[in-house]
A and B are shown apart, each in its own frame.
Chain A
């Protein structure tokens, strides 16, 4: 069964600290992996999209990594800000075109 599992389920960090969110997937065949940020009461917004051949991609303070061999991805947030408080969703697109969503990691950044 095609699945996307994220960890941790929730995370609290202090402003200015770094953090890393994890995503494991079993989707096969695999086309690309996306990370989305979803603020409370808003729709998901794309942060990064990586294909099979890409190992890392950055978007400002967000850096995503992908290991297609182990089917693992991570999202690293550097120097966190209060505005980083949100849910982060890992999404895998298979060769059918369908998006398979993880359940998300809820990040809370405290001052």
Chain B
């Protein structure tokens, strides 16, 4: 149980275009989902926390107009990278906190590799 999927696993896009990444909890409902960014050989940096039905909370330094997060249902959150630039190329990982679960309980997706050319 507690499986989180991400789609796509890899995406290549041209500079200036937008890319949407989906994060789904497959066998549980998630009131809270988290989006992380990871550069090569570095740790995960929390970008934002999204709660179902409300606006996402962004970490300091993360542009909310550039990284649009929508958590429209208890099993789906999306991250849209708008007007992507090469410096947005990174590994994006989501995690989900089960509804009624402990606050520290997070299940991670397999990640999405974004390359902006």
Q: Do A and B come from one complex?
A: no
Point out residues on B near A: beta carbons under 8 Å.
none
